[in-house]
Amino acid sequence: MTTPQLDTYIVEHRGGFESLLGQMVEIPSISMDPTKATDVRRMADLATQVLTEFGAEARIVETGGYPIVSGGWTAGAEYPTVTVYNHLDVQPAQEPEWQQAPFAFKNEGGIYRGRGATDDKGPALAVLFAARYAMDQGLPINIRFLWELEEEIGSPHFAAGLKDRSHIPRPDSVVVSDTIWIAKGQPAMPYGLRGLVGARLTLRTGSKDAHSGVTGGAARNPLAELMEVAHACVNAKTGEVTIPGFYHDVVKATKEEIKSFLKSGFQVKRFKEAYGLHALRTDDPAEVMRRIWAAPTFEIHGLTGGYHGPGVKTVVPGHGELKVTMRLVPNQTPEKAFALLKKYVSKLNPDVKVQPEGMLHPFKGSFDGTYVECVKRAAKAGFGKEPAFIREGGSIGAVVTMQKAWKVPILFLGLSLPEHGYHAPNEYFDWGQASGGMKAFAQYFAELAKMEKR
C-alpha cells in the first residue's frame, strides 16, 4: 500500500462516504419493529444498489426472514477470498434523551449523528471504500461482503441464509467489523465472545395464593424454595457458580491474555461510571476484565410470584418463577451447562421445573498466528498503534454461525468507540474512525493478498 496514494484516495472520497452514510442512516431499518419492515427491505435494496454502483456484484439472498445482502469482487478463483461481515439493521431509537430526530442524519464537521451511524452502517461503508481501493490496486484477492439485516434481533435466519452456498460462498477467512474499542486512541480487537443459556425455574405448590394466617406453617412456600435452589447454584458474594461440574470444560485465560487485556485502556472507575455500578466484587482491573470477558457466570434476573404491590400482603404464593442465565466461555456448551443445571436442580428440589430459554455457543478465535499479525499491522497502519486483543462478554450469534458453517478463521477489526453510543441515544460515528478504518482495511486486504489460498 503506497500511503500517499491511499491518503489522496481517502480525502477525495470523504464527500462520497458522508453522502452514502447519510442516505443509509435516514432509512430507519429497525429489525425489531414490525412496522418498519418496508424500511428494512428498502435498506437491502439501497445496499445492493450501492455495491452495484461500486462495480461489485451484488444480490439479495432470501432467508425466510429479512434478507442478507451478498456481493463483492472476484479477482481470480486462484486467489484467497475474504468475507467482510457487517449488519445494516439498527436498534430502535425511542429514548427521550435524543437531541435530534434519530433518523435525520447530521454531519457536524466530521461527526456523523443518527441511529446506526456507528452500529454498524459507518463501519460497513468504511470497509467498502477500502475494498474498492484494494481492488483498484489490482490486489490478488477476492473481497466479499455479507450485510445482515437481522443482527439486532439475534440473527434468527442467518444460518438458513448461509445454506445458499451458490450466492454466499465459503471464504478462506472472515473479518467482522461490528465491535467497540475500550478507549479512544487505543485499538482493541476481540478474539472471543461468551456464550449464553437461559432457564426458567418454576414451582407450583398450590392452585392459588393462600392466607398465611390460615395456611402459613403448613403450606409450602415456592418462593422460599426457589431461593434455596438459587442459593445452591451460586455464591452471591463471590459470584462463584456452585453447580457440580460447571467449570469442568472452562479454558482459563492465560497470563498472556490477561496482559493483553491490560493494554486495552480499560479503567475500573470509568467502567463503574458507565454502568452506574456503586461497588464491584473486585476492583482489580485484571480481575474485572477476566470476570466480564473470560469467566462464566450464573445470573439471577428475576423472581416472580406472590405479592409485589405497596406494603406487605400476607399471602403464601401458589406459584413462583426464577429467571436465570449463564454466560459461558470456551469450551463450555449451552447444552451441557443446561443439562448440569437441570440435573442439579432435580436433586435439590424435584418439584422445580427447569425450561431452557435460548442457547448461544461461546466463540474463541485466534489470539496469535498469521491472521492476528495481519490485524496488528492493519490497526497500526490505520491508527498508529497495535491493537490490544480482548474478549467480549456478550454474544454475536452470526459469528458462531459462520464458524460452524465454514470452519475458517474469523477475525475482528472494529471501528467504534465507547463514546459513539452503541444502542444508546445520540449515537454518532466520526471521520477519524472512518478514515483510520479505511487505511486499516486497505492494509488488511493487502496483507491477506500476500497469503496463500487455503
Following DSSP, what letter does each residue of 284-300 receive, concatenated? Answer: -HHHHHHHHHSS---EE
Q: What is the 3-state secondary structure (H, E, C) of 13-74?
A: CHHHHHHHHHHHHCCCCECCCHHHHHHHHHHHHHHHHHHHHCCCEEEEECCCCCCEEEEEEC
89 vs 95: CA distance, rounded Å? 18
Cβ at position 198, least distance to Zn ion in Å: 21
Answer positive or negative: Cα dihedral of 362, 368, 373, 374. Answer: negative
Q: Indicate which single residue of 39, 119, 321, 447 sits in contact with Zn ion (rule: CB under 5 A).
A: 119
Q: Given the complex with Zn ion, which of 82 and 88 has the nearer CB atom? A: 88
Q: Which stretch binds Zn ion (CB under 5 A): 6-14, 102-110, 114-122, 163-171?
A: 114-122
Copy the grid coordinates of residue 217.
Answer: 406453617
Q: Given the complex with Zn ion, which of 123 and 198 has the nearer CB atom? A: 123
What is the arrangement of strands in the sheet containing 410-412, beginning at the earlier edge strand?
57-61, 68-73, 142-148, 81-87, 173-176, 410-412
Task: Decide: 375 and 411 in contact? Cβ < 8 Å.
Answer: yes
Cβ at position 67, least distance to Zn ion in Å: 18
Query: Interface residues for Zn ion in 302-361 (CB under 5 A)?
Result: none
Task: Quickly tell me which residue has 439501497 as its cell.
Answer: 46
Copy the grid coordinates of residue 47.
Answer: 445496499
Q: Indicate which single residue of 178, 392, 427, 447 sits in contact with Zn ion (rule: CB under 5 A).
A: 178
Q: Given the complex with Zn ion, which of 9 and 412 has the nearer CB atom? A: 412
Task: Decide: 82 and 164 in contact? Cβ < 8 Å.
Answer: no
Cβ at position 148, least distance to Zn ion in Å: 9
Q: Given the complex with Zn ion, which of 146 and 288 has the nearer CB atom? A: 146
Q: How many CB atoms lie within 10 A of CB 342?
A: 18
85 vs 383: CA distance, rounded Å? 21
Q: Given the complex with Zn ion, which of 155 and 202 has the nearer CB atom? A: 155
Can you state the angle between helices 37-53 and 14-25, rounded to 10 degrees?
160
Q: Which stretch binds Zn ion (CB under 5 A): 175-183, 198-206, 261-269, 314-322?
A: 175-183
Cβ at position 410, least distance to Zn ion in Å: 15
Q: Which stretch binds Zn ion (CB under 5 A): 115-123, 245-253, 399-407, 428-436?
A: 115-123
Residue 345's nearest CA partner among 326, 318, 328 is: 326
Q: Which stretch binds Zn ion (CB under 5 A): 77-85, 118-126, 301-309, 431-439?
A: 118-126
Copy the grid coordinates of residue 315.
Answer: 399471602
Contacts with Zn ion by CB under 5 A: the residue count is: 3
Q: Indicate which single residue of 120, 172, 209, 321 sits in contact with Zn ion (rule: CB under 5 A).
A: 120
Q: Is 150 in the site for Zn ion (CB under 5 A)?
A: no
Q: Given the complex with Zn ion, which of 6 and 21 has the nearer CB atom? A: 21
Q: Which stretch binds Zn ion (CB under 5 A): 171-179, 183-191, 273-281, 307-315?
A: 171-179
Cβ at position 344, least distance to Zn ion in Å: 35
Query: Interface residues for Zn ion in 45-84 (CB under 5 A)?
Result: none
Q: Given the complex with Zn ion, which of 63 and 91 has the nearer CB atom? A: 91
Which neighbouring-strand residues pair with 389? 189
Cβ at position 118, least distance to Zn ion in Å: 9
Cβ at position 267, least distance to Zn ion in Å: 24
Task: Quickly tell me which residue has 484494494 as its cell.
Answer: 134
Q: Given the complex with Zn ion, which of 178 and 225 has the nearer CB atom? A: 178
Residues that bind Zn ion (CB under 5 A): 119-120, 178
